[in-house]
Amino acid sequence: MKLHFKYILRLYCDYPVFAMTTLWKDILHNVQQIHYVAPIAVDAALLEGVLMRTKDDPNTSDVVNFAPFTLLPSPVPSVMLEQAYSVQQDFNLLVDKVSQDTEFLESVLASTVKVDEFTAQLFNIYKQVLKEGITQSVFLGINRSDYMFDYSAGDSPALKQIEINTIAASFGGLTSRTTAVHRHVLNVLGKSKEASKLLINNPSKGIAIGIAKAWELYGSDRAVVMFLVEEAQRNIFDQRYVENELWMRNIRVIRRRFKDVFEKGSLDNDKRLHIDGEEIAVVYYREGYVPKNYNKQNWEARLLLEKSRAVKCPDIATQLAGTKKVQQELSRPGVLERFLPNTPEVVTRLRATFAGLYSLEMDAEGDKMVATAIAAPDRFVLKPQREGGGNNLYDDELKQVLEKIKDSPERTSYILMDKIKPLPSLNYLLRAHSPLKMSECVSELGIFGVYVRQGQDLVVNRHVGHLLRTKAVEHADGGVAAGVAVLDNPYVI
């Protein structure tokens, strides 16, 4: 029997949609089987070290919980995963180019710094370092570009970028351990063929290789890598996996807070950074991305770090390059070409991942977008210049905020983005001390990228792994650290 070509094509196009909604159907509705395998999954997570400290004791490992994760891996269309990986080196290059363009950063952030105190503080440090002269010669970027799969146009999904994280991009360590958990769960369920299809994934190793290269280029065997960490360190195990990779390479690592830098940090005549008698080659920020991370002393500590010769990951310019306002500006026609001239294929690849992004400047264009969003708030997401999850505004809350600030310059501290419409799938989200129940879920895919530049030479530019996070559909915003999403793995379809 012959099938018409168009019918075959239609079947092929529909397959990801069908698989997204039916994957693991035989397991998910077998309550007895679910209750049998869930405790096995939790034990596997504990054995693999998929761990977080508790909220009650964030600075001790005397009592720990498993980090939240899905019982089963979630479906991800192969074409989407391949596309996300294919553009990561392009994004690495773009972020690095933007960070070096002072004129662009100044013009793009000019209105934002007038109304957003946090961005203004970062920008003031950036300007001060430029004025005194940049002493850092090696630059390290550890980025994570986050995407969702948009089905708003029909059955064929489109990969759309949510944001790019240029500071403290987390969960590269824990996600390196979750594949083994899901592989074990599938094997226990008699799905050994499916278990063998799970992708090898080790971002912690790739991130450590980038840090190690920056340490090497700094040029002092005696110098150490400093992880700049939060006061409450619940997510320490995620960081330890990267840290241990460095120790295995005979690179010494210390962990310090802003407070330690303020009290004990100093620069010598060559602007080399010293803390507790140790010279610091690389400062790896796992803190410093939200306003609550700072007080007066912490801002002074950040300035000291930025003035130093140490390799900062990220340096202050790269943190600014990751702001939402810069992301929105890069989506404008002709802007990518400024940074990536004579490479139309790269520009095309990047632009294909952009969701609709809109300025709220105090001009006719901004007025039009404010009015459009107030009239149809369900079409958009309102984003402030913040990282860490849980900051975005949706639906009625978006409308209320915009109505309040529509005539105020405060609106320029936000951008608008088209709301992405993913296709939900079913799964169980496993959290410590939480009941076991099936949830309708959506996922967000992140690709980790690492680059190292020495002077003007990009000596490392690579993608180093992925992160899949999944949350119940009733939660509009928020990541794993925010207590909304859970760790997951892609099951490629």
Task: Mark the binding-site residues, compressed into ranges.
Answer: 144, 163, 165, 167-170, 233-235, 239, 286-289, 324, 383-392, 394, 417-420, 444, 469, 471, 477, 480-481
Show the tokens assigned to 250.
Answer: 């005979």
Give catalytic status of residue 144 as yes or no: yes
Of 236, 179, 147, the residue nearest 488 (C-alpha)? 179
Q: Residues marked as binding for ATP?
A: 144, 163, 324, 383-392, 394, 417-420, 444, 471, 477
Catalytic residue among 49, 356, 388, 483: 388
Residue 357's nearest CA partner among 406, 416, 399, 398 is: 416
Structure tokens at 61: 């490992």
Helix spans in 152-235 (H): 175-188, 192-196, 203-218
Q: Which of 92, 145, 170, 176 is catalytic?
A: 170
Length of the chain as a residue count = 493
| Strand 138-150 with 158-165, pairing | antiparallel
Q: Distance between CA atoms of 37 and 381, rounded to whole angstroms? A: 38
Q: Which of 165, 293, 308, 439 is catalytic?
A: 165
Catalytic residue status for 388? yes
Question: Does 387 participate in catalysis according to the annotation?
Answer: yes
Q: Do 172 and 204 touch, CB atoms closer than 8 A?
A: yes
The binding site for Mg(2+) consists of: 163, 165, 387
Of the residues 53, 92, 141, 163, only one is catalytic, namely 163
Which residue in the list 272, 302, 307, 324 is annotated as catalytic? 324
Active site residue 163: yes
Residue 266 annotated as catalytic? no
Catalytic residue among 383, 399, 411, 453, which? 383
List residues forming the annotated binding site for substrate.
167-170, 233-235, 239, 286-289, 469, 480-481
The H helix count followed by the E strand count for the chain is 20, 21
482-492: burial string, b at 16+ Cβ within 10 Å, e else: eebbbbbbbbb
Contact 448, 207 (CB under 8 A): yes
Q: Which of 53, 144, 160, 309 is catalytic?
A: 144
> Residue 225's closest CA among 201, 207, 198, 202?
207
Give the active site residue among 240, 302, 325, 469: 469
Query: Active-site positions?
Result: 144, 163, 165, 170, 324, 383, 387-388, 469
